[in-house]
């Protein structure tokens, strides 16, 4: 780590923190830094995060970390609940202890939407990959299949401009033939986008993940993240905390290991992801305390820079 960056916390996260690690699990390290004066007062030096990949490490600059926490980003909020005096925290300083003592400033019922949103993202991946497993596209779409000539009659920019005008409520009158060409061009573009995503997934996916999907008919790792996010979000909203390792770590491991079929998981999920949060009466405030969080952030940065 560059000596211009003071590490105020360094924690083990991911599956090792959740209690769901396997012998092949990577070690994920996350933390927070406060850089030196030039990163705040100048314009040549700017940093939001520092990353390395061997090992997998990400350190957020403190003001960026505060922003992400105030937005109730699930991956970032986790750091606030990692026990300081534990094997999961490799470095902590008085600055970090003060942040932990004031973590209530960052919390709000917005967590319902962020945890739900991240869970929905996992569900979308599961369904998308399952669709590709069961009904893989067989070839790249051609213009002829959509009743289009070999050359574009309407450009992507023109289509985009048309959609933008419609989105702003503009009343645009086009002839039926032009509308039909628009419809076909958009359908062709969407089909090519779908094909491109499929080929990217097919080419870049991890071999172990591919084997899991082929064996169980869905991505069990995405499924484990889906249910973990729901579990963490529910605990945060109802109790104002997240417990690590996860109390339901065995259940999450069971999902990861393919104990449940796809249909069983969808049954456990219920109507949709949001339905898993609807029964919670949270005591968290509607909004985080951005003003007091800003005061705390400025205090810690000023102390690091040697300002009174």
Whether residue 224 is predicted with pLDDT greater than 80 in this model: the reply is: yes
Beta bridge partners of 50: 59
Q: How confident is the model at residue 212 (pLDDT cuts 50, 70, 90)?
A: confident
Task: Convert the pLDDT of each residue in 73-110 to its tens digit.
Answer: 999 999 999 999 999 999 999 999 999 999 999 999 99
Whether residue 193 is predicted with pLDDT greater than 80 in this model: the reply is: yes
Q: How confident is the model at residue 162 (pLDDT cuts 50, 70, 90)?
A: low
pTM of the model: 0.87
The whole-angstrom separation of Cα 155 and Cα 264 is 45
How far does Cα 308 stand from its chain's mean position?
38
Whether residue 182 is predicted with pLDDT greater than 90 in this model: the reply is: no
Dihedral (CA of 252, 258, 262, 264) sign = negative
Task: Convert the pLDDT of each residue in 249-303 to its tens digit.
Answer: 999 999 999 999 999 999 999 989 999 999 998 999 999 999 999 999 999 999 9
**Phi/psi at 211 (nearest 5 deg)?**
-65, -40
- Expressed in percent and rounded to 5, the helix, strand and coil fractions of the chain are 55, 10, 35
What structural domains does the chain harbor? 5-108+286-305 (3.30.460), 110-284 (no CATH)
- What pLDDT, on a 0 to 100 scale, did the predictor assign at position 308? 66
Q: Checking DSSP bridges between strand 49-53 and strand 28-35, what pairing results, if any?
A: unpaired
Whether residue 181 is predicted with pLDDT greater than 90 in this model: the reply is: no
DSSP result, 50-99: EEEETTEEEEEEHHHHHHHHHTT-HHHHGGGGS-SSSTTEEEE-HHHHHH
Q: Give the Cβ contact number of residue 24 at 10 Å.
A: 6
Dihedral (CA of 28, 129, 249, 278) sign = positive
Q: Give the Cβ contact number of residue 211 at 10 Å.
A: 10
- What pLDDT, on a 0 to 100 scale, did the predictor assign at position 169? 65
Whether residue 132 is predicted with pLDDT greater than 90 in this model: the reply is: yes
């Amino acid at each position: 780590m560059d000596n211009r960056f003071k590490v105020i916390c360094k924690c083990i996260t991911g599956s090792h923190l959740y209690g769901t690690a396997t012998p092949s699990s990577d070690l994920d390290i996350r933390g927070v830094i406060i850089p030196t004066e030039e990163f705040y007062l100048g314009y040549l030096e700017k940093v939001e995060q520092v990353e390395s990949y061997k090992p997998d490490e990400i350190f957020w600059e403190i003001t960026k970390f505060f922003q992400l926490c105030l937005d109730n980003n699930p991956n970032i909020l986790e750091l606030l609940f990692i026990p300081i005096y534990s094997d999961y925290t490799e470095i902590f300083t008085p600055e970090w202890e003060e942040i932990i003592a004031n973590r209530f400033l960052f919390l709000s019922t917005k967590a319902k939407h962020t945890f739900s949103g991240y869970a929905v993202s996992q569900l979308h991946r599961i369904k998308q990959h399952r669709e590709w497993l069961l009904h893989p596209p067989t070839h790249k779409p051609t213009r002829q299949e959509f009743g289009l000539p070999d050359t574009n009659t309407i450009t992507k920019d023109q289509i985009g401009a048309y959609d933008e005008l419609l989105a702003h409520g503009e009343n645009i009158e086009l002839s039926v033939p032009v509308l039909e060409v628009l419809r076909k061009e958009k359908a062709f573009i969407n089909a090519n986008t779908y094909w491109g995503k499929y080929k990217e997934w097919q080419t870049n996916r991890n071999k172990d993940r591919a084997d899991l999907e082929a064996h169980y008919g869905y991505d069990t790792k995405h499924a484990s993240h889906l249910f973990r996010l729901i579990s963490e979000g529910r605990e945060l909203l109802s109790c104002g905390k997240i417990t690590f390792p996860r109390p339901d770590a065995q259940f999450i491991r069971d999902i990861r290991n393919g104990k449940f079929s796809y249909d069983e998981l969808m049954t456990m999920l219920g109507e949709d992801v949001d339905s898993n949060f609807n029964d919670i009466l949270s005591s968290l405030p509607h909004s985080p305390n951005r003003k007091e969080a800003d005061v705390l952030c400025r205090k810690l940065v000023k102390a690091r820079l040697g300002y009174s």
